[in-house]
Structure 1
Amino acid sequence: MGVGWEKLRLLLHDQSKSLRERGTIKAKANFNVSEDVAALRKAIEGIGTTEKTLIDILTHRSSSQKQAISKAYLETTNRILVNDLKGDTQGSLEDLLVALARPPAVNDAKCVLSQTSAIHGAGTDNNILIEILASRTNKQIKELSAAYAEETKKTLIQKLKTEVSGDFGKAILLLAEGARDESTNVNADKAREDAKALYHAGEKKLGTDESKFIEILCKRSIPHLRQTILEYKNISGKTLQKSIEKEISGDLEELLVAIVKCVMSTPAYFAEKVYKSMKGAGTDETTLTRVMVSRGEIDMLDIRAEFKKLYQNSLFKEISSDVSGSYSDSLKMICGED
């Protein structure tokens, strides 16, 4: 299951933990925007790019500091920092530095945009859409939607309605509204009721009532769902994840499993993503970059801890042995020490 049941019980009693800063990318003390702009200009405009400077600045400033840098860079040079980074670096390093320089919501919107542009009926891989909508908070989804509308002049919901259908479509649209219940109070009786409803909609029934799974997993609060998952195990003797895998298939199964994994532990969910991106022949650098950048400021410390627990190896070591050069150096900066 990745995360022990005992840990889940503890999580139920420690909701405040999720509010603390668990990122490795933090705001720089004594931040000086004009010094940073001057250093970036020198690195970009000099003969041959000084990648070390770019990496150092972009991995050691908070998102809001980087937006201040981008704004000042535009005012001083009349050029867009992201475009200069694109012109000056290449490959995976370019993708990583550009993502670090952009606001998180813009990165999410661009990822979703690339995915929705690629959605053409059955057989399309919806994994990025699933990852983003299953793991983001209401606030992050609202920000992503605003960035998406800014970029495309269409709302995310409008676009998705033309792209996804069936039960998977219903679930995706519910999540894209960013309207998950956010109360932190857990009523054990209500959680038990939901657990029973899920049991009767799946394991206990001939055929599956997918709509019940969608309603509960896409709308209820995270603390409530943690309790529901515990109650479900008590009622059915099985984990909810196992039941979903047995009862539901295709994209909907993947989405609901992703939600359950994120409810249990978002860091463990991302530790698994990062591991899979490096496992086997060749590295999925797109996924590796997306996860490292999107979680760098949020919960990378926890992802590192989960990675070590799940795979008996440090994330730092895994990155060192899997990728090389400046791209590897940047990822290791985001990862933080061993």
Structure 2
Amino acid sequence: MAWWKAWIEQEGVTVKSSSHFNPDPDAETLYKAMKGIGTNEQAIIDVLTKRSNAQRQQIAKSFKAQFGKDLTKTLKSELSGKFERLIVALMYLPYRYEAKELHDAVKGLGTKEGGSRDDVSSFVDPGLALQDAQDLYAAGEKIRGTDEMKFITILCTRSATHLLRVFEEYEKIANKSIEDSIKSETHSSLEEAMLTVVKCTRNLHSYFAERLYYAMKGAGTRDGTLIRNIVSRSEIDLNLIKCHFKKMYGKTLSSMIMEDTSGDYKNALLSLVGSDP
């Protein structure tokens, strides 16, 4: 079944590796786009949004070798605003980008959690799932007050497949969903964090669709959220997220981007998102 999983993952991406790729002419195109007075933003979009992250790293090396300049620093000096933020995000290695965004999110909060979730195992021990469900019930609904550490330990260390079984068992015991219990037993940022874990566990693609929708809904656009989710999911499952977006909100992701953004920033986002499902 490995080939089937690989096929699904490939179908989910909106940004794929360019065939017959050569970093040298791409680097030259970018250099010419930023040389002299003015910048050819469309040329930058055409290159960087149509190459995989691995290929962008090769382009950066070629840019340095040919012109003696750091590509990311050059982009920062030539671009500005939301468009700059998006293009620079594309130049990070994926794990470095995630680390940067996480650091920015918790900066100043004194947060030092290690993050020890089991994201590999698909095996579910029915006995352990039942025990976890009983422990969650005992830590919340069954007592006065809430043992928040028990909730955190189980929700943040168990695999998604295991947690789905835990949620089933919990509902049988408590006669209410885990979401309803979290809402009644916790509050503020802890409640939001726990509900996020549950949403991601139940349906990861729906969760990201919701994040993208509310990044653009209402007055103003939450550009940090929009950029982070599109960049980070474009080589993973953005096509699948787009399908869920359309089912959930009755409009396409690209149509909403066209309504809520403008200029080179809009064009770059649309290029990353690709055609409508």
TM over 0.5: yes
Is 2:74 the counterpart of 1:84? yes
Is 2:222 the counterpart of 1:222? no
Q: Matched residues in 2 for 1:33 and 1:74: separation?
A: 11
The partner residue of 1:300 within 219, 238, 241 is 238
Q: Which amino acid aligns with 1:173?
A: E
Q: Matched residues in 1 for 2:114 and 2:149: separation?
A: 12
TM-score, normalisation: structure 1? 0.76
Q: Which amino acid aligns with 2:75?
A: L
What is residue 93 of structure 1 aligned with on the other side? Answer: 83
Q: Matched residues in 2 for 1:237 and 1:40: separation?
A: 60
Are the equivalent residues in 2 in contact too, given 1:267–1:303 (CA < 8 A)? yes
Q: Matched residues in 2 for 1:17 and 1:187: separation?
A: 26
Secondary structure of the 1:20 match is helix
Q: Matched residues in 2 for 1:286 and 1:18: separation?
A: 30
For each residue in 1:55-86, what CA deviation from the matched residue of structure 2 results, as whole angstroms up to 9, or x when unmatched?
11111111111111111111111111111111
Are the equivalent residues in 1 in contact too, given 2:9–2:236 (CA < 8 A)? no
Q: Matched residues in 2 for 1:305 and 1:25: separation?
A: 16
The partner residue of 1:327 within 243, 265, 276 is 265
Q: Which amino acid aligns with 1:72?
A: S
What is residue 20 of structure 1 aligned with on the other side? Answer: 9
For structure 2, the 5+ residue unaligned runs are none
The partner residue of 2:212 within 265, 270, 274 is 274
Q: Matched residues in 2 for 1:307 and 1:90: separation?
A: 29
User: Taking structure 1 as reference, are residues 219 and 117 closer, same or farther at Cα in structure 2, changes over 3 Å only?
Assistant: closer
Q: Matched residues in 2 for 1:230 and 1:292: separation?
A: 32
Is 2:251 the counterpart of 1:313? yes
For each residue in 1:174-200, what CA deviation from the matched residue of structure 2 results, as whole angstroms up to 9, or x when unmatched?
42xx45362111122321221122122
Q: Matched residues in 2 for 1:310 and 1:335: separation?
A: 17
For structure 1, the 5+ residue unaligned runs are 1-14, 120-162, 165-171
Report 1:214-293 matches (<5 A).
214-293=152-231
Are the equivalent residues in 2 in contact too, given 1:174–1:219 (CA < 8 A)? no
Q: Matched residues in 1 for 2:119 and 2:225: separation?
A: 29
Secondary structure of the 1:313 match is coil
Q: Which amino acid aligns with 1:89?
A: L
User: Taking structure 1 as reference, are residues 179 and 236 closer, same or farther at Cα in structure 2, changes over 3 Å only?
Assistant: closer
Q: Matched residues in 1 for 2:223 and 2:123: separation?
A: 40
User: Taking structure 1 as reference, are residues 258 and 190 closer, same or farther at Cα in structure 2, changes over 3 Å only?
Assistant: same
Q: Which amino acid aligns with 1:76?
A: Q
Q: Give the C-alpha shift of residue 19 in structure 1.
A: 7.2
Secondary structure of the 2:113 match is helix
Q: Give the C-alpha shift of residue 224 in structure 1.
A: 0.6
Secondary structure of the 2:203 match is helix
Are the equivalent residues in 1 in contact too, given 2:117–2:158 (CA < 8 A)? no
TM-score, normalisation: structure 2? 0.91
What is residue 40 of structure 2 aligned with on the other side? Answer: 50
Is 2:121 the counterpart of 1:183? yes
Q: Give the C-alpha shift of residue 289 in structure 1.
A: 1.0
Q: Which amino acid aligns with 2:21?
A: F
Q: Give the C-alpha shift of residue 87 in structure 1.
A: 1.1
User: Taking structure 1 as reference, are residues 279 and 253 closer, same or farther at Cα in structure 2, changes over 3 Å only?
Assistant: same
What is residue 59 of structure 1 aligned with on the other side? Answer: 49
Are the equivalent residues in 2 in contact too, given 1:182–1:222 (CA < 8 A)? no
What is residue 113 of structure 2 aligned with on the other side? Answer: 173
Instruction: Give the total of aligned pairs.
Output: 272
Q: Which moved more, 1:181-190 or 1:303-312?
A: 181-190
Higher relative contact order (CA 8 A, sep 6+): 2
Identity of aligned residues (%): 40
What is residue 205 of structure 1 aligned with on the other side? Answer: 143
**Structure 1 residue ranges, 4+ long, deviating more than 4 angstroms after superposition:** 15-19
Q: Matched residues in 1 for 2:30 and 2:239: separation?
A: 28
Are the equivalent residues in 2 in contact too, given 1:244–1:253 (CA < 8 A)? yes
Q: Which amino acid aligns with 2:65?
A: E
Are the equivalent residues in 1 in contact too, given 2:9–2:237 (CA < 8 A)? no
Are the equivalent residues in 2 in contact too, given 1:174–1:218 (CA < 8 A)? no
What is residue 105 of structure 2 aligned with on the other side? Answer: 115
Secondary structure of the 1:173 match is coil
